[in-house]
Structure 1
Amino acid sequence: MIRHFFRHLWESIKSLKRNIWMTIASVSSVAITLTLVGIFAAVLLNVEKIAQGIENNIQISVYLDVNSADNSETKTNEVGETVQNDAYHQVYDQINALSGVKSVTFSSKDDQLAKLKETYGDDWAMFDGDSNPLQDVYVVEATSASKVKKVANKISKIEGVESVNYGGSNSDQLFKISKFIRTWGVAGTVLLVVVAIFLISNTIRMTIMSRHRDIEIMRLVGAKNSYIRGPFFFEGAWVGLLGAIVPSIIIYFGYKAVYASVNPQFEVQGLTLYPADTFLPMIIGGMFVVGILIGSLGSVISMRRYLKI
């Protein structure tokens, strides 16, 4: 068994050398196809990651009533005394108890005013103190993007809540786009892989057709089908392996260049592409595996007709 393994391996290498032009044609076909598959997969995976990051960044802003003291443990009564606030966290507890709520963070109107002054300058300083027109806010994060709208609708019905904002129609549109990318992106990848199998198999079939007499002679002298398939199986695997080298180089340097130029712009918005150090080994390894599998299996499938004598 081991002797046959190395014999088939060596025969496949000699066959590639003897049929150098058909080998070049097959390797080129594999290289072009895997380049398209690799680029499409890299783009799809990163678009999905960015879309998921945008979804996760969508938060629900819950604006409390103007005179709300929901986050204050004490309050001042009519005679100016500081007493316990019986309404402390009534709204907070109801929000936190809802199904689909991951976290609830309080942001006072003074905190929001400070952010506005930091962003737009001291023009907002005129609203310091009692002139502050903003409202206290609870920033709610849902357990998943699909639950944002449902959670927002439930919160809007809680007494003490003036309004709720999660992006409305813009967020709904984003969720639809994300769903579209997931559904049709996967379908597109599967279709592209099927096309790749078809193209590579046809190219390998041309190689085998040019040597069908050798196959028929071996069959007629009593060689078993498994013995005949061996060299062709390895030959197809070599074609897939060699064909994955150039696409891997293109993806490696291309992705690093894109990552270095594009990712900093996404990081400003709290988003990121897949890190090159972890993403490239995964996708390049996948390209080699796909190339070898398609090459070897395509070779075996393409020669079935010549084994039926």
Structure 2
Amino acid sequence: MKLLSNFLYSVKQGIKGIFTNKTMSFISIISVSASLIILGIITSIVLNTNQFIKTTKYEINEIRVSIQPNLDGTSIENLKDKLSNIEGIKSVEFKDKETMLNDMKSSWGEDAYLLEGVENPLDDCYIVTLENSKDIKAVSSKISTLDNVKNVEYNEDVIENFVKISNSIRNFGAVLIIFLILICLVIISNTIKAIVYSKKEEIEIIKYVGGSDNFIRMPFIVEGFTIGFIGSTIALFICIYMYEYILENINNAINFMNNNMMIPVSEIAIFLAFVLFITGITIGVLGSIISVKRHLKV
């Protein structure tokens, strides 16, 4: 019963402390929210990069070999035989330029009408599938030396550049997040410190009558917890709203994009909630502990 009474007292005093120092509490909440929003953005980028690579992984195993125009059937078959004999190639499939155009129309969905009446700019080609994507550069180089090969294309460079950009954003974001978290800790610590000083006499009385340090410390920890929780909630709603807005606009702009290339809002929301609340509450509680530890002895 005493434990419950102490807990309720700590909660009441912790929440009361937030309203007692409204300005500092507001600044602390906004600082935590800003840091967590950046964390949420970076987390979303990293998760969607992994999703993009996972979804398009099969395309890295494919090489499109465009062949010279107006080749006779014998030359086309001879090229297929040469391709099949290259080590590391799993399969070779011929596609004429009309089939390639029809595939493009299908992938464009409702926008396929834009291709109607357009002279087919594509070439007949072979779609070469590799046994291992690691061999794509070596195999590509061998294919480019064959007779009657016009062009060799594959998507590895695009994905590599995408990953490099994402890693740069992640590394820069990590440094920025650490910097902002340190600022949050300082601000929260100063908020709690101001409350400690404002309750100097009350704390002295509690200690005089035998109150433990933990009993005195708990309301401040509750306050830090509350600041972190509120900041996390604000950040989560903003991140979800931004993500939903961006996802909707991307789908509208590129409506032929594979629906699995970006993580659905429902899935990203669960992961972000876990990351943001754990981080925000930890920042709030840690800031309180640091401040109370330094300034409890008044």
Same structural fold, with TM-score higher than 0.5 when normalized by the shorter chain: yes
2:94 alignment counterpart: 107
**Corresponding pairs, count:** 276
Shift, 1:305, TM fit: 1.7
2:298 paired with 1:296: no
- Which structure 1 segments of 5+ residues have no match? 73-86, 125-132
Q: What does residue range 69-218 of structure 1 map to in structure 2 within 5 Å? A: 91=82, 94-95=85-86, 98=88, 104-108=91-95, 111-116=96-101, 121=117, 137-140=126-129, 143-144=132-133, 147-155=135-143, 162=149, 165-167=152-154, 172=157, 174-213=158-197, 214=199, 217=204
Give the Cα separation in 2 of the matches to 1:307 and 1:253.
41
Pick 1 or 2: higher relative contact order, CA cutoff 8 A, min separation 6. Answer: 2
2:233 alignment counterpart: 245
Please give the per-residue CA displacement for 1:55-90, whole angstroms capped at 9, x wherever unaligned.
Answer: 764531245795676998xxxxxxxxxxxxxx9985
Give the Cα separation in 2 of the matches to 1:52 and 1:178.
13
Give the Cα separation in 1 of the matches to 2:214 and 2:138.
60
Give the Cα separation in 2 of the matches to 1:235 and 1:123.
69
Give the Cα separation in 2 of the matches to 1:166 and 1:142.
17
Shift, 1:2, TM fit: 4.8
Shift, 1:209, TM fit: 2.0
Query: Contact between 1:244 and 1:291, CA under 8 Å: does it hold in 2?
Result: yes
Q: TM-score, normalised by structure 1?
A: 0.68
Q: Aligned pair in 2 of structure 1 residues 298, 71: CA closer, same or farther (>3 Å)?
A: farther
Query: Contact between 2:232 and 2:277, CA under 8 Å: does it hold in 1?
Result: yes
1:80 alignment counterpart: none
Greater Rg over alpha carbons, structure: 1
Please give the per-residue CA displacement for 1:85-127, whole angstroms capped at 9, x wherever unaligned.
Answer: xx998556545x62xx6x635024xx33443487575966xxx
Query: Contact between 1:34 and 1:244, CA under 8 Å: does it hold in 2?
Result: yes
Residue 21 of structure 2 aligns with an amino acid whose one-letter code is N
Give the Cα separation in 2 of the matches to 1:88 and 1:151.
15
Residue 33 of structure 1 aligns with an amino acid whose one-letter code is S
Q: Tell me, what secondary structure is at the counterpart of 2:91?
A: strand
Q: Tell me, what secondary structure is at the counterpart of 2:254?
A: helix
Match of 1:262 among 225, 241, 250: 250
Q: Tell me, what secondary structure is at the counterpart of 1:229?
A: helix
Q: Aligned pair in 2 of structure 1 residues 134, 308: CA closer, same or farther (>3 Å)?
A: same
Query: Contact between 1:62 and 1:164, CA under 8 Å: does it hold in 2?
Result: yes
Give the Cα separation in 1 of the matches to 2:76 and 2:271.
48
Shift, 1:203, TM fit: 1.4
